[in-house]
Amino acid sequence: MSDILSALGDILDERKGASADSSYVASLYAKGLNKILEKVGEEATETILAAKDAEHSGDNQDVIYETADLWFHSLVALAHLGERPEAVINELARRFNMSGLEEKASRSDK
Ligand SMILES: N=c1c2ncn([C@@H]3O[C@H](COP(=O)(O)OP(=O)(O)OP(=O)(O)O)[C@@H](O)[C@H]3O)c2ncn1[C@@H]1O[C@H](COP(=O)(O)O)[C@@H](O)[C@H]1O
């Protein structure tokens, strides 16, 4: 799973050298951090609305789509600040390891 995030991180880094009219990500970088954060906020709102609809309809397709938009724009914000997706994966891994769940999972394998 994190292979895709790493590959996307490479593309987000490459886009820093691209002209604003050649790519969506390059156009966001050119507009600056406030515009990128505005997109993160919009996608968060759309994710919330889609989750509420999904609870009633039982169809999760839209909330998955909106969550992908939210993750993507969050990664653009991090890339703009010079961070990689792996930094978030590592933080989640650190929390997982701290919780002791990894140890319990490996014990139950034996
Ligand atoms: N994963 C994504 C991705 N997810 C969503 N989006 C774009 O994010 C935008 C979502 O914003 P909205 O739904 O608000 O649509 P919009 O009206 O077009 O946006 P605004 O004009 O309001 O900013 C759309 O333009 C989507 O195309 C993405 N654009 C790019 N990627 C990845 O980023 C890579 C680089 O993209 P480019 O920079 O376009 O080459 C691509 O290869 C993809 O892997």
Return the residue matching tokens 């914000």: 77
The tokens for 11 are 């593309």
The tokens for 79 are 């890339």
- By most ligand atoms within 8 Å of CB, the mutation choice from 8, 14, 24, 39 for ligand 1 is 24
pTM: 0.91
pLDDT < 70 regions, the chain: 1, 102-110
Cβ–ligand 1 distance for 88 under 6 Å, the answer: no
Confidence (pLDDT) at 21: 96
Q: Whose CA is nearest to atom 6 of ligand 1?
A: 69
Look up the ipTM and state it. 0.91
Return the residue matching tokens 């140890």: 103
24 C-alpha vs ligand 1 centroid, how far in Å? 6
